[in-house]
Structure 1
Amino acid sequence: MANAEQKYRVCVIEDDPDVALFMKTVLEKRADALVLAITDPAKALAGIAEFEPDMVITDIEMPGISGLDLLKELRGTYPDLPVAVMTAHVSIDYAVSALRSQADEFLTKPIASADLVALVTRLAAKGRLTKTAQEPQVVLAIGAHPDDVEIGVGGILAAHRAAGNRVVILTLSRGARGGDADDRQHESLAAAELLGARLFMEDLEDTQISAADPTVGIIERVIAEVRPDIVYTHSAHERHQDHRAVHAATLIAARAVRTVCCYQSPSATIDFRPTRFVPIDGFTDAKLALIRCFESQTEVRAYLEPDFVLATARYWSRFGGGTSCEPLEVIKDTVDISVPASSITNAARLKGERP
């Protein structure tokens, strides 16, 4: 059984409460769908706007507004939303009007349960694909300390932003053991602003981060708020105890997220085994700019020197193509985490380079 976010969202508009209940029951039990049944057609448009369905199925003959009039309204607002219309009164005029109004399907009542399930599953799948293609991805990068995610996936995050995706960073401590906590917080804010990312800054005790609560609860809260498609976090193959703890906590908190990947940090062990190598050609300058925001660290950490950062990305390109890559251990992957080719092309064009 799919979780609530994975279930197809179906809106049934039917003024007969018994028919509406029948359709809702069939679709919830046999199609494992999340169904909003609307029996007052005057509330249909508001309900659809709030529910954001993958497809709509509506009766034609209803008081106040007909299903065909509603279909015209929907086509003006949601041109790609699959809509099926149904009626108990078969006529050529109805069928022609439905087709002219761009209905995806024209049905006659009574509708067999198996036919209803097959139709809704097909149209909802079409609607979900269209909606997913239109919506920007939401990307959540989780780090134990300030600068962790910028070092690990700074280039990938810059590419996500260039592709129009929403980037969120969750930093679980202010890194007091590695410098002044206030300075490091300001540096994190500067990097997030430069990237165009939303920053959640927590204040767990540096070097004492737990793999259980409150860490799991914090990550769950952020995931519930931003609903990410992709989560990047620390690897389990780490010398730093905070990194290992955040990795374990993320796997619990992100159990319903479709794609979870682990990045390399300077404290990763030789057991770090990446299986995805994402080209960041065109975004290495952006990564270096993000790292420069952490001035308190660049002055004392040799691994933050530009030639070190570039050499690391150059090394991983042996496995991923291009001239620079960031490596990832993929925990689960149902969303494309490749850097969009259009982003690389546009970045190269701006720099006057060949993509």
Structure 2
Amino acid sequence: MGSQLDVLVVAPHPDDAEISVGGTILACKAAGQRVGVVELTNGEPTPYGSPEIRAKETAASTEVLQLDWRENLQLPNRSLESSLTARRQLAEVFREQQPKVILAPYWEDVHPDHVAASHLVDAARFWSKLSKTDMSGERYWPPQIYYFWSIHLRIHPKPSFVFDISPHIEQKMQAVRCYESQMIQGRSEEHPTVLDDIKDRARYWGWTIHRAYGEPFASREEIGIQCFLPLSAAK
């Protein structure tokens, strides 16, 4: 029996989860949910990083986010593919962790790794439910999957919903800043910095739902609703 995560984020590289859904992770944790992150690659090589540096940065961010589980599949960076081997590895993660919700990269992106990651998640989700295989773990179908935007995506489609992260924006930014080799070192210190860009995007999405900060998601599947909040709570 897996640890049954409530939410599992599938990130192509270290820092993608923090940039795209760090506030959502923190909101879920504040609600008492179990949250995990699986990175597909170590993100290297980069101009100022190394596998060792990225591992330390990821460990620091994991503490900030208070994640219940985190793992890196060590698939090839810059040449990520939805191969049968990769599909099997990720499907076994789904079987082991049994997430109720998967957060995955959006299927359109400038970065080829992000596009491949999105296709890989869809394929592994299907494989996870198959019977009569030699994969480890019991067959499992993650019931919900939502797709998040990447920082590389310049033209954003209309989201299916926007998650309110207003109480968690500063802690999200603290988690993002843990990746100094990617966010700070070698980058311009003039406004707007990459950190400003990340926070300003969250401000924009918050504005769209009459909140301070938000993170957008898309869904290919219908979203079930049991009740509406009182109108006063939505102002």
- TM-score w.r.t. length of structure 2: 0.79
Distance 1:323 1:304 in 2: 20
Distance 2:214 2:107 in 1: 20
Match of 2:216 in 1: 327
The amino acid of 1:181's aligned partner reads: P
Structure 1, residues 203-232: CA drift from partner, whole Å, max 9, x if none?
A: 111111111222211211111011001101
CA RMSD of aligned residues (A): 2.5
2:29 to 152, 161, 173: 161
Mapping of residues 55-94 of structure 1, within 5 Å: none
Tell me if 1:292 matches 2:177.
Answer: yes
Distance 2:143 2:31 in 1: 19
Change (3 A) 1:182 1:166: same
Mapping of residues 39-50 of structure 1, within 5 Å: none
2:17 to 146, 149, 154: 149
Tell me if 1:227 matches 2:98.
Answer: yes
Match of 1:176 in 2: 44
Mapping of residues 234-249 of structure 1, within 5 Å: 234-249=105-120
Structure 1, residues 5-52: CA drift from partner, whole Å, max 9, x if none?
A: xxxxxxxxxxxxxxxxxxxxxxxxxxxxxxxxxxxxxxxxxxxxx9xx
Distance 1:208 1:273 in 2: 29
Match of 1:96 in 2: none
Change (3 A) 1:158 1:304: farther
Structure 1, residues 308-333: CA drift from partner, whole Å, max 9, x if none?
A: 22210111123222111101111335
The 3-state SS of whatever aligns with 2:45 is helix
CA contact (8 A) 2:82 2:117 kept: yes
Mapping of residues 186-335 of structure 1, within 5 Å: 186-197=56-67, 198-255=69-126, 256-270=141-155, 272-299=157-184, 300=186, 305-332=194-221
Distance 1:141 1:309 in 2: 18
Distance 1:167 1:333 in 2: 23
The 3-state SS of whatever aligns with 1:267 is coil
CA contact (8 A) 1:215 1:246 kept: no
Distance 1:266 1:304 in 2: 13
Q: Which has the higher helix share?
A: 1
Q: How high is the sequence identity, in percent, across the aligned residues?
A: 25
Q: How far apart are residue 192 of structure 1 and its match?
A: 1.4
Match of 2:138 in 1: none
Q: How far apart are residue 273 of structure 1 and its match?
A: 3.5
The amino acid of 1:234's aligned partner reads: P
CA contact (8 A) 2:64 2:171 kept: no
Q: How far apart are residue 190 of structure 1 and its match?
A: 1.7
The 3-state SS of whatever aligns with 2:77 is coil
The 3-state SS of whatever aligns with 2:197 is helix
Moved over 6 A (4+): none
Q: Which has the higher strand share?
A: 1
Distance 1:165 1:311 in 2: 27
CA contact (8 A) 2:166 2:206 kept: no
CA contact (8 A) 1:274 1:328 kept: yes
The 3-state SS of whatever aligns with 1:283 is helix
The 3-state SS of whatever aligns with 1:257 is coil
Change (3 A) 1:244 1:301: farther
CA contact (8 A) 2:41 2:75 kept: yes
Distance 1:219 1:335 in 2: 26
The 3-state SS of whatever aligns with 2:113 is helix
Distance 1:290 1:140 in 2: 17
Higher alpha-carbon Rg: 1
The 3-state SS of whatever aligns with 2:219 is strand
Change (3 A) 1:275 1:143: same
The 3-state SS of whatever aligns with 2:70 is strand
